[in-house]
Structure 1
Amino acid sequence: MAAVQSVPDLVKRALVGRPVRSERLNATLLPKRIALPVFASDALSSVAYAPDEILLTLSLAGMAAVTLAPWVGVAVVVVMMAVVASYRQTVHAYPSGGGGYAVVRENLGARAGMVVASALLVDYVLTVAVSVSSGMQYLAAAIPAARGHEVVLGVAVVVVLAVLNLRGVRESGTAFAVPVYAFIGSIGLMLLVGVWQLVTGTMHTAASASFTIAPNAAFSQGLTGLAGGFLVLRAFSSGSAALTGIEAVSNGVPAFRRPKSRNAATTLLLLGLIAATMLMSILLLAGATGLRFAQDPATQLLLHGRPVGHGYAQDPVISQIAATVFHGVPVLFVLVTITTGFILVLAANTAFNGFPALGSVLARDGLLPRQMHTRGDRLAFSNGIVLLAAGACAFIIAFGAEVTRLIQLYIVGVFVSFTLSQFGMVRHWGRHLLGERDRQVRAHMRRSRAINTFGGVLTSVVLVIVLVTKFTHGAWIAVLLMAVLFLGMRGIARHYEGVSRDITVLDPSVSRALPPRVHGIVLVSKLHEPAMRAIAYARATRPTTLEALTVNIDSDETAALRQAWEEFEIPVPLTVLGSPFREITRPVVDYVRSVRWEAPRDLVVVFVPEYVVSHWWEQALHNQSALRLKARLLFTPGVVMASVPFQLHEEDRLDRPAHPGADGARRGTA
């Protein structure tokens, strides 16, 4: 006969699916065609807003500054390809996953590893919050009815993404593959058509090309002086958001099919080439179409010398380019807009794969709760998925789903990880060179070390730029969260180390020795079936001494208990504790501790009769005294709490008479 499932179990099965056997783990591993959309959607989605951030920042200095956007893009691409090349070395050297954390922990020490881990965990949460919030802004632009409800819709999207990932990595990857490839295809088509129009001289100008951009008052002199250079660095740091997501591949190497390292390295290369091509093409087409994009369009965009005002709605860069390139073909324009909105939302899926995998590695190393290392019913790291979703929802709610505010917290953690992991790889190759004698292998190691050195220098420069340009704009919040996580991981590590030390068997002969004596104490309030069962169970354990214990709260009830005790001839002495203030917990705890103090080497076992109810809401009506006693005695050495359950409303109990009101039969006197 099949077991009857509870309502929560039925809901869980409907959302998550049936459990998957552990032997099926290999079947959930990802081929490259699925791994690309699973791990690369974050980096690819950065193409949707990295050009916007570059142009927005440069627009503060006016029209002339915007012409520098392609050169800023080149700088971003150089860093991106250096990071891709560096992480390709990492996935070959550390195929077990963990990415930057594993590299830094092994080569730079545990504390540096915790710095990287805290940075990545914060950035994964922000990835979900930024991506989903950006997608909600696209949705609000396309559907005016959604405007004002971005927070609620964003939280709902995060919940849906969490449920899809709880169903398993492979299943979620298959679901997300189509929109990711649709985005790549639609953007690729737009770029090809745009380049063709540019070469043939048939390209139209953007609708915003008729505007001019007025500089902000602080940059009325353009990019001259220190302020101008600082603005260019800000544009570069904002455009560096395009690098987010690259590290997710190195964290998720165990999710790839064999050969894991080669497949992960190939996916990294494809990711870098696609993202770099898209970023540069979009910036070049933005310049070719005369597109105007301003930080404050209402006041900065001028038509015939006058501001356009708040009635003007500024579309994102990709939308403006698509409208220009596909002039007269609205279907293709809609396709680009829809797939871009989808990729912005689905970019969060990269974090939903990277965060749980990294959390599992950290839990294995004793830096996060051990539950993070446990796979769920669908062989996904369910606890990590739920924790990530909760954190992302908190950010979306706290920042009102505003990308402009959230983006300031972004990418700090990524470049902390990039920088430390690259220098960790430099030390890794240096250590292995000392023991390697093969000339060909040594040459390969030197090349790898040179690549990682170049990547480490670049990312450290970018990290300084990001911290300097973004710290006062909100990056300090991310730094603070990293510090909190770092301290939390140190505390968790100390706790697990202490537990391991306390439970280690030092002397097997002492550990196997039985306690000199065992004192049994049965707690009773009335002489009813639960009490009788607890007494019977206590006697069956054969303790050295056994007594029943009650607290005198009501003199009449205590007298009735004494009378019933004598009438039933219970072969266990009854001890009555006084309680002038009508407390139950404190007198019992004090008495148990006094027994323990009199014989420190003995064991005290407290037997507690407890009701087992049929409905969850009935739990609040019973067992409260037992719970309080357990909580108080839990930390008392040498004391064991033994719960003796008694099932209520059990109509088919074999030990209960047919007529429940027959007291004589219940007492065994019939």
Structure 2
Amino acid sequence: MVNIPQALKRLVIGRAMRSEELGETLLPKRLALPIFASDPLSSVAYATQEILLVLTIGGTAFLYLTPWIGLAVVVLMAVVVMSYRQVVYAYPSGGGSYEVVSSNLGANAGLVVAASLLVDYVMTVAVSVASGVDNIISAFNGLADYRVLMAVIFIALLAAVNLRGVRESGNAFAAPTYLFIAGIVLMVVTGFVKMAFGHSPVASSAQYPITPEDHKNTLTGFALLMLALRAFASGCTALTGVEAISNGVPAFRKPKSRNAAQTMSVMGITAVVMFSGITILALTSKIHITADGCQLVGFPDCSTAPQQTVIAQLAAAIFGGDHSLLFYYIQAVTALVLILAANTAFNGFPLLASILAQHRYLPRQLHTRGDRLAYSNGILALALVNVALMVAYKADVTSLIHLYILGVFTSFTLSQIGMVRHWNALLRVEEDPRVRGAAKRSRVINSFGAVTTGLVLVIVLATKFTQGAWLAVVAAIFLFVNMKAIRRHYDAVSDELEVEDPSGERARPARVHGVVLVSKLHKATLRALGYAEALRPDTLEAVTVSVDRGEATQLERTWSEYEIDVPLKVLDSPFREITRPVVAYVRALRKDAPRDAVAVFIPEYVVGHWWEQPLHNQSALWLKSRLLFMPGVMVISVPWQLASSKLAGGPSRRAPGSVRRGEPVGRQQPRPPAVR
């Protein structure tokens, strides 16, 4: 019969791949760009909008600050890209900021970066998908009521594609990313050409004056500075995801570092060109967009109707209205690439989690590759957390954006400080003049990067903390504390299992006392008795619990009639309990002979359907859960395969080497019990 869950799994993620096929998943630069750089490339779709949303708090009075804020973002982007180019050459094994900081600033600083990046990867998915949904709603307003549902579906699709493996996700996401770049460049070039010929585009929102919030159009001095800094902090969302390439260097084809550095340069140049063009055109076309639609004087249904995004208004103004073919093209590729931008996190989060798991800071399951050689557990964990975020925040970009970028600038700053220490350490031992010269140049770049990103981190904290960024700080602290606790646990277990006296640790118990648990005398019981006898314990007895005296008497009678030479002991249970009398009896055996081992054999049914499992083995499950905590007690499950397990593809259809739950490895046929 067809195994339906396995068939569905293969349909979604494809055939399982052998470990030797890992080399076939390495990425050329043309696929690495959309996989690792889709986030910073797509963030230009909302970075300008976030700047305008802050500045229009004061009406139109402070829009003159937009080009200066945009220029500051561009300079920062260039600095960060140049800084991370040094990282991919100096630390080509992956890990990016985490490895740099751990190696140069210590384990605790590395964990701060790791926790910050994990939070930021989660927010990358949330903000990218929510922003993509916003662009869909800008084209089709009727879908506004299905915002959360669409976001959850997109997250599920992204997870499914990534479960198929890195290379396949690259093939799936390459075309939309390149189509988005082509569309934005076409829109920017067309807009500049129109401006050159005296036909500057005019946005549909230009007709609506903006009412400032609480007379904030008169801000001066420190208040104006804080407004500008807040707008700059919001515009810095354009830099999110830049570090993902440094985390994913091992996924590139050889030469890995050079290919990663070149991909990072292409990403930086492309993002700067698109962001600059959108920002200039947004100003010249007089786009008005506010956090509260009712600030737009005359905007119809301001309390309910969604405003069009900056990209949507530009496309409509440049390409002749919001019903033109190119308008729908821009909206389609923008929405698609924003949603696919979450793929940067779907690659970065599992990779970083895998490294942390390898270093024993996260559960080891996160270091395991799945059927398609992707880190499946990390992908699924990221998807589940983001589904919860979408439901909690109703997929609202404005609410989610405040939780964003804090983590990434923490990692930017600490990694640049770490790189400065890296170059200082190299210069102390290096004597080659050429190498020293290159190291000094790199140190200057990283020093400047540390100063600038550190300032931005302070600005982000100061301007976004009370607006929701404190939640990101709390989440990062929670992760940091838990990773330390996980490491302490793994270290304690490792120390506890450390072999100090091999001969002493291998010392055999004085005797092995076998106990076969019996409820009724049937085939499963006889198999357990036979298996126990085959292992030849020093003593062997069968034990049953007398819940019903009549049934216990009948069992003793049948036992005697079959002339089974294993003694049967009946434990009284006046309160009709099964677990407690057995545990007490086994504990008494251990107390009487502390140097002996007790082997408890439990017959178990192997069922073929999930709904059958609750109908069987519940007493065995409770017994095992108690007995496993007792030192010197071995619990051995002896399976009996029911007919349904064979119909569901039991032993004969199982993959070689696989073992069903509750079944001993090897599944040797036991010697039949002695029955006279």
TM-score (norm 2): 0.93
The answer on 1:216 being equivalent to 2:213 is yes
Q: Deviations over 1:242-274 (max 9, x none)?
A: 000101111111111111111111111111111
> Is contact 1:234-1:469 (8 Å) kept?
yes
Show the counterpart of 2:39: 42
The answer on 1:513 being equivalent to 2:507 is yes
**Change in 2 beyond 3 A, CA 1:87/1:321:** same
What runs of 5+ residues in structure 2 fail to find an aligned partner? 648-671
The separation in 1 between residues aligned to 2:227 and 2:619, in whole angstroms, is: 66
5 Å-filtered alignment, 1:156-235, equals 156-221=153-218, 223-235=219-231
**Change in 2 beyond 3 A, CA 1:592/1:225:** same
3-state secondary structure, aligned to 1:380: coil
- For structure 1, which segment, 641-650 or 605-614, has the greater mean C-alpha deviation from structure 2 after superposition? 641-650
**Change in 2 beyond 3 A, CA 1:198/1:637:** same
3-state secondary structure, aligned to 2:427: helix
The answer on 1:57 being equivalent to 2:54 is yes
The separation in 1 between residues aligned to 2:162 and 2:427, in whole angstroms, is: 41
> Is contact 2:541-2:566 (8 Å) kept?
yes
The answer on 1:338 being equivalent to 2:332 is yes
- For structure 1, which segment, 20-29 or 583-592, has the greater mean C-alpha deviation from structure 2 after superposition? 20-29
The separation in 2 between residues aligned to 1:634 and 1:113, in whole angstroms, is: 38
The separation in 2 between residues aligned to 1:277 and 1:343, in whole angstroms, is: 17
* Cα shift at 1:307: 9.3
**Change in 2 beyond 3 A, CA 1:388/1:344:** same
Amino acid at match of 2:543: L
The separation in 2 between residues aligned to 1:611 and 1:410, in whole angstroms, is: 51
3-state secondary structure, aligned to 1:409: coil
* Cα shift at 1:650: 7.9
Show the counterpart of 2:664: none
* Cα shift at 1:312: 6.5
Amino acid at match of 1:36: L
**Change in 2 beyond 3 A, CA 1:651/1:239:** closer
**Change in 2 beyond 3 A, CA 1:287/1:652:** closer
Over the aligned positions, Cα root-mean-square deviation in angstroms equals 2.1
The separation in 2 between residues aligned to 1:450 and 1:103, in whole angstroms, is: 17
The separation in 2 between residues aligned to 1:210 and 1:669, in whole angstroms, is: 97
The match for 1:237 among 233, 244, 259 is 233
The answer on 1:635 being equivalent to 2:632 is no
* Cα shift at 1:594: 1.6
* Cα shift at 1:50: 0.6
3-state secondary structure, aligned to 1:608: strand
3-state secondary structure, aligned to 1:420: helix
The separation in 2 between residues aligned to 1:318 and 1:194, in whole angstroms, is: 12
* Cα shift at 1:464: 0.9
The match for 2:297 among 302, 323, 330 is 302
> Is contact 1:302-1:308 (8 Å) kept?
no
> Is contact 1:298-1:312 (8 Å) kept?
no
The separation in 2 between residues aligned to 1:135 and 1:652, in whole angstroms, is: 48
The separation in 1 between residues aligned to 2:105 and 2:258, in whole angstroms, is: 26
The separation in 1 between residues aligned to 2:202 and 2:255, in whole angstroms, is: 48
5 Å-filtered alignment, 1:458-473, equals 458-473=452-467
Show the counterpart of 1:22: 19
> Is contact 2:139-2:328 (8 Å) kept?
no
Show the counterpart of 1:319: 312
Show the counterpart of 1:663: none
Q: Deviations over 1:525-567 (max 9, x none)?
A: 2222211111111111111111111112111111112222222
The answer on 1:70 being equivalent to 2:67 is yes
* Cα shift at 1:148: 0.7
TM-score (norm 1): 0.94
Amino acid at match of 2:377: N
**Change in 2 beyond 3 A, CA 1:53/1:541:** same
3-state secondary structure, aligned to 1:332: helix
- For structure 1, which segment, 504-513 or 97-106, has the greater mean C-alpha deviation from structure 2 after superposition? 504-513
**Change in 2 beyond 3 A, CA 1:571/1:203:** same
Show the counterpart of 1:545: 539
3-state secondary structure, aligned to 1:185: helix
* Cα shift at 1:504: 2.1
Show the counterpart of 1:660: none
> Is contact 2:36-2:344 (8 Å) kept?
yes
The separation in 1 between residues aligned to 2:445 and 2:432, in whole angstroms, is: 20
Show the counterpart of 2:119: 122
Q: Deviations over 1:59-99 (max 9, x none)?
A: 11222301110100111111111111111111111111111
The match for 2:581 among 567, 577, 587 is 587
3-state secondary structure, aligned to 1:546: strand
- Which of structure 1's runs of 4+ aligned residues deviate more than 6 A? 650-653, 666-670
The separation in 2 between residues aligned to 1:307 and 1:148, in whole angstroms, is: 18
3-state secondary structure, aligned to 2:570: strand
- For structure 1, which segment, 33-42 or 60-69, has the greater mean C-alpha deviation from structure 2 after superposition? 60-69
What runs of 5+ residues in structure 1 fail to find an aligned partner? 654-665
> Is contact 2:39-2:344 (8 Å) kept?
yes
Amino acid at match of 1:273: I
Q: Deviations over 1:43-64 (max 9, x none)?
A: 1111010100001101112223
Amino acid at match of 1:381: Y
* Cα shift at 1:203: 2.0
The separation in 2 between residues aligned to 1:309 and 1:623, in whole angstroms, is: 62
> Is contact 1:323-1:333 (8 Å) kept?
yes
* Cα shift at 1:311: 7.4
Show the counterpart of 1:424: 418
5 Å-filtered alignment, 1:612-651, equals 612-649=606-643
Show the counterpart of 1:254: 250
> Is contact 2:533-2:673 (8 Å) kept?
no
The match for 2:469 among 459, 467, 475 is 475
The separation in 2 between residues aligned to 1:436 and 1:14, in whole angstroms, is: 55
**Change in 2 beyond 3 A, CA 1:5/1:21:** farther
Show the counterpart of 1:293: 289
The match for 2:145 among 137, 143, 148 is 148
> Is contact 1:58-1:66 (8 Å) kept?
yes
The answer on 1:358 being equivalent to 2:358 is no
3-state secondary structure, aligned to 1:82: helix
**Change in 2 beyond 3 A, CA 1:220/1:192:** closer
The match for 2:8 among 6, 11, 18 is 11
* Cα shift at 1:631: 0.4
* Cα shift at 1:621: 1.2
**Change in 2 beyond 3 A, CA 1:589/1:256:** same
5 Å-filtered alignment, 1:249-288, equals 249-288=245-284
Q: How many residues align?
A: 651
3-state secondary structure, aligned to 2:631: coil
- For structure 1, which segment, 53-62 or 316-325, has the greater mean C-alpha deviation from structure 2 after superposition? 316-325
> Is contact 2:191-2:201 (8 Å) kept?
no
Amino acid at match of 2:474: L
